[in-house]
Structure 1
Amino acid sequence: MAGPLLWQNFKVFVTRYPIMRGMISYSLIWPTGSLIQQTVEGRRWGTYDWWRVLRFSMYGGLFVAPTLYGWVKISSAMWPQTSLRTGVIKAAVETISYTPGAMTCFYFIMSLLESKTVEQAVAEVGKKFLPTYKVALSVWPLVATINFTLIPERNRVPFISACSLCWTCFLAYMKHLEHHEVDGAI
């Protein structure tokens, strides 16, 4: 009997505090992306970098989910309609405002979580931002348009978090390339 009651309480909690739904989703999806990337890299259970997995979980749950939640709330207030035109506008604004900041923060904060210096973090942003952003331009405008057009607001962060699993694998791949490997990686 405790299982169904626990599940019911969980559903009430994430309905009452929708930001928590995104934080829980991202704190699970981002480390999953890291594990998938490490598996492709050739690692297995005994050789996974569990600290890397933890960093991805912390970053996804404590940074990405709240900032994405804020962006969804702001964009929904600015453009409350759910038409195709509005979805395209939101996707375009997100692509030139939220996305560059989010990518910069990803490389910078994750570098700091790896105990790199501020100078090393800045260098990593400088080397990896543009190649990553170019790939993002080919993926996220379409995904964002679908999100803002077809998905109800309360499900937008979880929808994007599910779509971001593949993207997180790509970010994990880019993050762990050495600077000299970035140019030929994409």
Structure 2
Amino acid sequence: MKAFSLGVGSGVQNIWRRYERQLERRPVLTQMTTSCLLWATGDALAQRLVERRKLHEMDARRVAATAVFGACFMGPVGHFWYSGLDATVARFLTPGTAAFIGTKILADTLIMGPAYVILFYAWGCAAIDGSGVEGFKKKITQDFIPTYTAELAIWPLFQALNFSRVPVEHQLLAVNAMTLLDAAFLSWARNQEDWVATATAKFKAWQGGNAKPAAA
């Protein structure tokens, strides 16, 4: 068992070293590939675990379109956003200080956060369900505020840890790892007519199923 554990550990280290070499040689392409794989996995998880689809019911086109969003938006934009954000804030504040980290969190929350939600919804309306401009307007009007609010419950705290503990070159990887869950949520939410109403109904049904019968 010990030899097996050592072998697994060595294998993980080798993969990580290869990843770092590729990140150094081809940073944007490596980030695009990683984002592509994680966003595709996130949508697949949404379909399988949240929407309870069987394998033959999976929407492969939706998985592919979500993967393209990860590759073409989160990969390159995320790469330049995190490196540029760090360099810009470092011009005015001392790296590593509470003010430095807090400013980065605030900028990420107010700029990247809403852009990320809006562009994902826009991409979905254009490339996934084909609802176009009218569908996008309806989706943003109805779902942007609750979706962004849900994102605020997770990302500022996560980014506090990310910006304070993770080297800049690996911050997008950390975000993408978290996005594995967030992409599942966003994919599910984007494909609901009204995700808040759907989630509320499911929660009430769960409460009803778990309610104890009243004592005689």
Q: If the length of structure 1 is used for normalisation, what is the TM-score?
A: 0.88
Contact 2:40 2:66 in 1 (8 A): yes
Distance 1:26 1:109 in 2: 16
Cα distance, 1:51–1:184 mapped onto 2, change above 3 Å:
closer
Matched, 1:33 2:47: no
Counterpart in the other structure of 1:123: 138
| Runs of at least 4 residues off by over 6 Å | 7-10
Contact 1:87 1:145 in 2 (8 A): yes
Q: Give 1:91's match in structure 2, choosing from 105, 109, 112.
A: 105
Distance 2:152 2:18 in 1: 40
Distance 1:183 1:66 in 2: 34
Counterpart in the other structure of 1:176: 191
Counterpart in the other structure of 1:3: none
Distance 2:127 2:87 in 1: 34
Matched, 1:74 2:84: yes
Kindly provide the CA deviation profile for residues 82-122 of structure 1, in whole angstroms up to 9, marking residues without a partner as x: 33432222111111111111111110111100222212112
| Structure 1 residue 23: Cα displacement | 0.9
Cα distance, 1:9–1:155 mapped onto 2, change above 3 Å:
closer
Cα distance, 1:96–1:10 mapped onto 2, change above 3 Å:
closer
For structure 2, which runs of at least 5 residues remain unmatched after alignment? Answer: 1-14, 201-216
Q: Give 1:59's match in structure 2, choosing from 65, 69, 86.
A: 69
SS at match of 1:67: helix
Contact 1:84 1:145 in 2 (8 A): no
Contact 1:27 1:60 in 2 (8 A): yes
| Structure 1 residue 53: Cα displacement | 0.3
In structure 2, what residue type is equivalent to 1:153? Answer: V
Contact 1:82 1:150 in 2 (8 A): no
For structure 1, which runs of at least 5 residues remain unmatched after alignment? Answer: 1-6
Q: Give 2:52's match in structure 1, choosing from 42, 49, 66.
A: 42
SS at match of 1:182: helix
Percent sequence identity over aligned pairs: 24
Cα distance, 1:143–1:10 mapped onto 2, change above 3 Å:
closer
| Structure 1 residue 185: Cα displacement | 2.4
Kindly provide the CA deviation profile for residues 30-81 of structure 1, in whole angstroms up to 9, marking residues without a partner as x: 1111111111211122111000100110001111222211211221111231
| Structure 1 residue 10: Cα displacement | 6.8
Matched, 1:24 2:33: yes
Q: Give 2:173's match in structure 1, choosing from 150, 154, 158.
A: 158
Matched, 1:138 2:153: yes
Q: Give 2:123's match in structure 1, choosing from 109, 112, 128.
A: 109
Q: If the length of structure 2 is used for normalisation, what is the TM-score?
A: 0.76
The alignment yields a C-alpha RMSD, in angstroms, of 1.9
